[in-house]
Structures are given as structure tokens and as C-alpha cells.
């Protein structure tokens, strides 16, 4: 690997960590960068290395958020543990289901999310006037951990974004609080998939470790920025990331 590739990879890792810490979508930066830098590696190795880098950033962001934003760990941690299992199952199943099956569905879902956020300016701006009951919090987070965890293992793009939207709708929280919970659960989804890829020998550990350090720096900066700028900033970044994700998946599907 030459200097230019190294700078590109580590810079991409830092940028992906920042974006992912705010609204998710870091994989859209990391995966193409890995595949361009190493065109001969198997897709599974790129995915496994991406998960190694991703878990460093999501765990860093989770720690940063939870120190500044109240998170009910009795509700979120069980969901994260369930996400480990379900993401692992998804990763095991990934080879059996072609990604072309998922892309159109995810594109429709993300487009719906963008339109919903655009036409509901108050959505996620502040917490709902009525707090969600404990039962609702438990059911919502467990379902999100299971379903979105499996999705992250088998396909993945937009996992953090889907978690944020799910928590904002289901728990009546504003975007920053939703992002804090999403990072905890997303750490679980990354861990579950990483364990499967690592067991198959599909992780470039040395390169991944260096990129992980850069991703952690980006994640810390991104989460601090989200905490400082608030829900309006998160909303704006979310819309940009969703548009980019839809465009990228559309190109992969039809280009």
C-alpha cells in the first residue's frame, strides 16, 4: 500500500466515523474506499474489515453520547445484546440472499424516511410531551435490536439511520437522544457481524486497527458536534446522508 492509498484510507475512516456518529451511514464511505484500494480482496473481507473499523467508531460515539445524554441502560443494553445475536445470524445468512433483493426495498424505505422528515419539520426536534411507557421502550428497543440487527448482518447500509428513526418514532425522543441509543445498539450489530466474519478469516486486522483509530477520532468529533449543535443539525445531516445513500444504492442497482 503506497502513501496515497494510506492517506485516502485513513482519511476516509476518520470522515466515516464522524458521519456515522451523527446519523449513521459511515459504511457508504468505508466500503467503497476499501474496494477501490484493494480491488482483489473478497467482498467478505472488505465487509469484515469494515465491521472492525465500524465497531471502534460506534462504541466511541456510544460512550461520548451516554456521558452527556441520559440513556436507560436497562432498556438499551438488552437490545444491544440481542442485536449481537441477530446480526451474527444475518451475517451467516448473507451469502444465501443476493443484495439486489434488498437494495430496492431499502431505497424505498430511505426515500420514505426523507420525505417524512422533510414534510414533518417538527419530527425529532424535541422530545414528545408524553414519555413512552417502560413496556413500550422495552418492546421497541428489542424489536429494533433484533430486526435491524439481522438487517445489518445480512446487508447493512443505513443501519444507524434506521435505528435513529425507529427510536424517534417509537420512543418519542428527539434526534440526539435517539442517536445516543442507536449507537449503543449499533455497537452490538457491528460486534455480531464482526465475530462471524472474523471466524471465517475475513478481516484485515493490521490495516483495520489503523483505520479503527482514525474512525474513533472522527466518531468522537462527530458525536461532540451533534451534542453541541443539537437536533436541528442532526436532522440536516440525516437528510443529506439519506439522499446520498439512495443515490449510491440506485447507482449500484441500475448503473
Contacts of 168 (CB under 8 A, 6+ apart): 123, 124, 174, 175, 178
What pLDDT digit, counting tens, does each position of 76-103 carry? 999 999 999 999 999 998 877 766 777 7
42-59 residue pLDDT tens: 888 989 999 999 999 999
Please answer whether residues 183 and 58 qualify as being in contact, where contact means their C-beta atoms are separated by less than 8 angstroms: yes
pTM of this prediction? Answer: 0.91
- Give the integer Cα–Cα distance in Å for 11 and 89: 31
Which residues make Cβ contacts (< 8 Å) with residue 232, sequence separation at least 6?
125
**Domain-wise residue ranges, the chain:** 3-254
**Confidence class for position 12, pLDDT limits 50, 70, 90:** very high
- pLDDT beyond 80 at 2: no
Q: Which of 174, 155, 63 is nearest to 109 (CA)?
A: 155
Range 52-80 average pLDDT: 95
How confident is the model over 202-250, as pLDDT tens digits?
999 999 999 999 999 999 999 999 999 998 898 899 899 888 888 888 8
**Which residues contact residue 123 at a Cβ distance below 8 angstroms, ignoring those fewer than 6 apart?**
116, 117, 168, 235
Amino acid at each position: 500500500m503506497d502513501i496515497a492509498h494510506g492517506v485516502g484510507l485513513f482519511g476516509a475512516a476518520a470522515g466515516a466515523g464522524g458521519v456515522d456518529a451523527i446519523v449513521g451511514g459511515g459504511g457508504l464511505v468505508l466500503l467503497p474506499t476499501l474496494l477501490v484500494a484493494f480491488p482483489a480482496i473478497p467482498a467478505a473481507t472488505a465487509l469484515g474489515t469494515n465491521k472492525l473499523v465500524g465497531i471502534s467508531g460506534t462504541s466511541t460515539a456510544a460512550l461520548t453520547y451516554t456521558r452527556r445524554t441520559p440513556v436507560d441502560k436497562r432498556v438499551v443494553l438488552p437490545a444491544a445484546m440481542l442485536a449481537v445475536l441477530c446480526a451474527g445470524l444475518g451475517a451467516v445468512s448473507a451469502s444465501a440472499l443476493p443484495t439486489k433483493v434488498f437494495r430496492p426495498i431499502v431505497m424505498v424505505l430511505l426515500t420514505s424516511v426523507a420525505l417524512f422528515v422533510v414534510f414533518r419539520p417538527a419530527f425529532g426536534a424535541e422530545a414528545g410531551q408524553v414519555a413512552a411507557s417502560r413496556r413500550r421502550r422495552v418492546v421497541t428497543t428489542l424489536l429494533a435490536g433484533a430486526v435491524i440487527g439481522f438487517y445489518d448482518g445480512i446487508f447493512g447500509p443505513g443501519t444507524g439511520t434506521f435505528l435513529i428513526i425507529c427510536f424517534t418514532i417509537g420512543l418519542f425522543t428527539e434526534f440526539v437522544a435517539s442517536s445516543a441509543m442507536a449507537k449503543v445498539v449499533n455497537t452490538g450489530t457491528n460486534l455480531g457481524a464482526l465475530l462471524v466474519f472474523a471466524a471465517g478469516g475475513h478481516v484485515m486486522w493490521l490495516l483495520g486497527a489503523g483505520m479503527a483509530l482514525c474512525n474513533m477520532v472522527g466518531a468522537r468529533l462527530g458525536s461532540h458536534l451533534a451534542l453541541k449543535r443539537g437536533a436541528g443539525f442532526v436532522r440536516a445531516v440525516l437528510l443529506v446522508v439519506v439522499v446520498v445513500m439512495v443515490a449510491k444504492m440506485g447507482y449500484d442497482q441500475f448503473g
